């Protein structure tokens, strides 16, 4: 085997793990990215034990020491963003431009939290009693377990690992099984950043074995998870029995509303970007396009014309707009929902099948259905390049359709009406709202998260990350 073999990282040492699983290239199944070994539950226990042993010293490290570690990581990621982006494109399948952008975002996140390490907030308050001082400080929550998804294999681990370390926690990071290369690359940089052994650990393996062992370990203090709703709910039940502090992001069914007064060309670009770029594999994807009846037919014509211009293929080809689906399992899911669209009587407007390419891969045409709000493709998260188009009678109907979902991550509206934009920002039942922008695409220095079944616990990213990664202590002193 000429491909690299990726190892886990525990207590400052690289650990091989058992077996030799293939790290697939979804754009070329005949040219794998590498191989990796997986850990058993005992090795995961060793990683948590190492993190627990390292916690007392790291929790008392100076803010400057933490800041320098994170700044080192961020600087190296940014310096190597093209190299890391190429690895990401080969392993996950998003286009090279998107992959390089994600690598840059990961570096920016580490840089941001390098600054936050120097700005850990606290308060000094007057007591209601004479001669007493009150101090409110934030301390690390402890050993943090991180379970990350495959769709953003650099950025999402970055926005979990960086704040955990910035605020003095120790980490056990479990990446998704299909992206071990990106996880290894990130761990390798962290291994050279000056961290004491055991502060950061990375464990490769399945959710059933590694993930379960991580959550069940008695020394784990907190769990941050991004992934599917069923997995998240199962982990939440397990964590609740142990009273773990939990933060979860579990998906979306995000609406993009297009009103009659919108700039339709701009709206089409928002819809295409949000629904189909990154192969639709974003929890913020615009999977429901809700269009006011007065411009519905015109919007359909413009969408079909724009989608016909999209090229599916090798993500390393600069002429390609949409890469492959990340795995065979996800491709099967996407094709299953396309069948469900036909079975429910939705009208296929574009796409609907696999795409032949020179290499053997998981290529799927971006797909658009004219659907009803009750159809499965309008209700359930697909996580692929498949969108449902819904007709709305007017703004009030569009808002009702937008909110008619168990999810509440992101919602968008395209309009030139300040009145409607303002009303939508206030009344959309989502954690994030976009006006004349794609629903997918957020900044790293502001809160990320949703409502309803999309999220649980404190927000991620930005200064709000301190809420999850620290615990508050109130101290009284009598002079």
Question: Mind listing the pLDDT tens digit for each residue in 42-55?
Answer: 999 999 999 999 99
The dihedral through the CA atoms of 21, 27, 28, 33 has a sign that is: negative
For 329, half-sphere exposure in the C-beta direction (CA atoms, 13 angstrom radius) is 4
Element (H, E) at 161: helix 155-166
241 DSSP assignment: T
**Residues with Cβ within 8 Å of residue 412, at least 6 apart in sequence:** 254, 255, 256, 257, 270, 274, 286, 433, 434, 435, 437, 438, 439
Q: Is 265 exposed, middle or buried (0-12, 13-18, 19+ CB in 10 A)?
A: exposed
SS3 at position 40 = coil
Annotated active-site residue 237? The verdict is no
Q: What is the pLDDT of residue 189?
A: 98
Backbone angles phi, psi at 147, to 5 degrees: -115, 115
- How does pLDDT run across 334-355, given as a tens digit for each residue? 999 999 999 999 999 999 999 9
- How does pLDDT run across 226-280, given as a tens digit for each residue? 999 999 999 999 998 888 999 999 999 999 999 999 999 999 999 999 999 999 9
Residue that has been written with the tokens 């994600």 in this structure:
102
Q: What is the pLDDT of residue 185?
A: 98
Residue 365 has pLDDT above 90, yes or no: yes
Query: How many whole angstroms from its chain centre is CA 287?
Result: 16
In this prediction, residue 1 has a pLDDT band, given cuts at 50, 70 and 90, of very low
Query: How many whole angstroms from its chain centre is CA 160?
Result: 10
Backbone angles phi, psi at 100, to 5 degrees: -65, -40
Contact present, 249 and 270 (Cβ < 8 Å): no
| Percentage of residues in the chain having pLDDT higher than 70 | 100
Residue 294 has pLDDT above 80, yes or no: yes
372 DSSP assignment: -
Residue 168, sorted as left (phi over 0), alpha (psi -120 to 50) or beta, turns out to be: left
Annotated active-site residue 177? The verdict is no
**Strand 255-258 to strand 470-478: parallel, antiparallel, or no bridges (unpaired)?**
unpaired
Given 102, 177, 249, 381, which residue is catalytic? 249
Residue 474 has pLDDT above 50, yes or no: yes
Residue that has been written with the tokens 């101290």 in this structure:
475
**Residues with Cβ within 8 Å of residue 126, at least 6 apart in sequence:** 133, 134
Query: Average pLDDT of the chain?
Result: 97
Given 92, 116, 270, 283, which residue is catalytic? 283
Mean pLDDT (whole number) for 205-225: 96
Residue 144's nearest CA partner among 55, 227, 208, 56 is 55
Element (H, E) at 223: strand 222-226
């Amino acid at each position: 085997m000429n491909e690299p073999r990726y190892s886990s990282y525990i207590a400052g040492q690289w650990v091989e793990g058992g077996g030799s699983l293939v790290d697939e290239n979804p754009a070329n199944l005949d040219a794998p990215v590498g191989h990796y070994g997986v850990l058993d539950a005992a090795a995961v226990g060793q990683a948590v034990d190492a993190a627990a042993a390292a916690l007392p010293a790291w929790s008392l490290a100076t803010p400057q020491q933490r800041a320098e570690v994170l700044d080192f990581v961020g600087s190296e990621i940014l310096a190597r963003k093209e190299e890391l982006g190429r690895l990401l494109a080969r392993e996950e399948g998003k286009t090279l431009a998107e992959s390089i952008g994600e690598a840059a975002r990961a570096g920016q996140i580490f840089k941001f939290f390098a600054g936050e390490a120097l700005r850990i907030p606290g308060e000094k308050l007057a007591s209601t009693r004479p001669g007493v001082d009150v101090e409110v400080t934030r301390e690390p929550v402890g050993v943090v377990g991180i379970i990350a998804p495959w769709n953003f294999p650099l950025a999402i681990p970055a926005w979990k690992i960086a704040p955990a370390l910035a605020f003095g926690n120790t980490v056990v990071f479990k990446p998704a099984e299909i992206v071990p290369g990106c996880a290894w690359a990130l761990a390798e940089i962290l291994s050279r950043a000056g961290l004491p052994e055991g502060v950061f650990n990375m464990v490769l393996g399945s959710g059933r074995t590694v993930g379960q062992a991580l959550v069940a370990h008695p020394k784990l203090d907190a769990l941050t998870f991004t992934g599917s709703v069923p997995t998240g709910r199962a982990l939440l039940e397990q964590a609740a029995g142990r009273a773990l502090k939990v933060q979860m992001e579990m998906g979306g069914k995000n609406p993009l509303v297009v009103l009659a007064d919108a700039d339709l060309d701009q709206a089409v670009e928002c819809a295409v970007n949000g629904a189909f770029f990154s192969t639709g594999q974003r929890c913020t994807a615009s999977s429901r396009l809700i269009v006011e009846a007065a411009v519905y037919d015109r919007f359909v014509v413009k969408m079909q014309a724009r989608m016909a211009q999209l090229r599916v293929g090798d993500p390393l080809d600069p002429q390609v707009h949409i890469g492959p689906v990340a795995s065979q399992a996800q491709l099967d899911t996407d094709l299953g929902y396309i069948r469900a669209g036909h079975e429910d009587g939705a009208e296929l407007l574009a796409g609907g099948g696999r795409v032949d390419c020179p290499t053997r891969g998981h290529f799927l045409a971006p797909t658009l259905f004219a659907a009803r709000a009750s159809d499965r493709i309008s209700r359930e998260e697909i996580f692929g390049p498949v969108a449902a188009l819904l007709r709305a009678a007017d703004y009030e109907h569009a808002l009702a359709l937008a909110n008619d979902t168990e999810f509440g991550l992101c919602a968008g509206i395209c309009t030139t009406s300040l009145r409607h934009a303002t009303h939508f920002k206030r009344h959309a039942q989502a954690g994030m709202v976009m006006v004349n922008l794609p629903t997918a695409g957020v900044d790293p220095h502001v809160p990320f998260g949703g409502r309803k079944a999309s999220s649980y616990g404190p927000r991620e990213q930005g200064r709000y990350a301190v809420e999850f990664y620290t615990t508050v202590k109130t101290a009284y002193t009598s002079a």
